[in-house]
Structure 1
Amino acid sequence: MATRRERIISLLEERDYSVSELAQVLGIRGKGSKRLILEDIRAIQKVLKREGKVLLIKPAECRKCGFRFKPEINIPSRCPRCKSEWIEEPRFMIAGR
């Protein structure tokens, strides 16, 4: 049986996912589920570099004013421009070189 990180890699090689979508597909629930997935994605990014693959990140975006955040492995809580908490999560995908 594949580990959680192996399952995440397999999913991200097929298409892009947000952290919430990954948690739902993997059946991870609870308060720390998003934090757990983010930690896994950070670890996966290091493994991918050794394998010659790249983690693509579509940055988080404010749904109210359209502000685009830096492409990073993080879920912002509030927009720095308009202070809205209506944030579209970043999306992740794996691409081979």
Structure 2
Amino acid sequence: METRRQRIISLLEERDYSPSELALALGLRGKGSVKTILEDLRAIQRTLKKEGKVLLIKPAECRNCGFRFKPEIKVPSRCPRCKSEWIEEPRFKIERRR
């Protein structure tokens, strides 16, 4: 039986996912589900270095003004430029390091 983090790694090796999509794919529900996924992604990022893999991050982006956030493992709540809360979540994918 795979752990939740092993399952996340398997999913991210296939294609990119947002934290909300990962929570749905794993059957996590509730207020803290995205927070749990983000914590898992931070831990996964540290372990991947030992395996010769890398966690790619497509940064979050404001759907209102197009502002691109830093590529980091977090979901911003508000755009610093236009103050909109209409934020596209970051997307994550795992690839082998070249």
Confirm or deny a common fold (TM above 0.5): yes
2: CA distance between counterparts of 1:37 and 1:17? 11
**Letter aligned with residue 4 of structure 1:** R
**How large is the Cα RMSD of the aligned pairs?**
0.4
Deviation at 1:52, TM superposition (A): 1.1
Deviation at 1:53, TM superposition (A): 0.6
Normalised to the residue count of structure 1, the TM-score between the two structures is: 0.99
- Cα offsets for 1:29-73 (capped at 9, x unmatched): 001000000000000000001111100000000000000000000
**Letter aligned with residue 52 of structure 1:** G
Q: Which runs of 4+ in 1 moved over 3 A?
A: none
> Is 1:31 equivalent to 2:31 in the alignment?
yes
Q: 5 Å matches for 1:18-97? A: 18-97=18-97
Size of the alignment, in residue pairs? 97
Residue in structure 1 matched with residue 8 of structure 2 by the alignment: 8
2: CA distance between counterparts of 1:85 and 1:71? 18
SS in 2 for 1:17: coil
**Letter aligned with residue 13 of structure 1:** E
SS in 2 for 1:76: coil
Normalised to the residue count of structure 2, the TM-score between the two structures is: 0.98
- Between the two proteins, what is the percent identity of the paired residues? 80
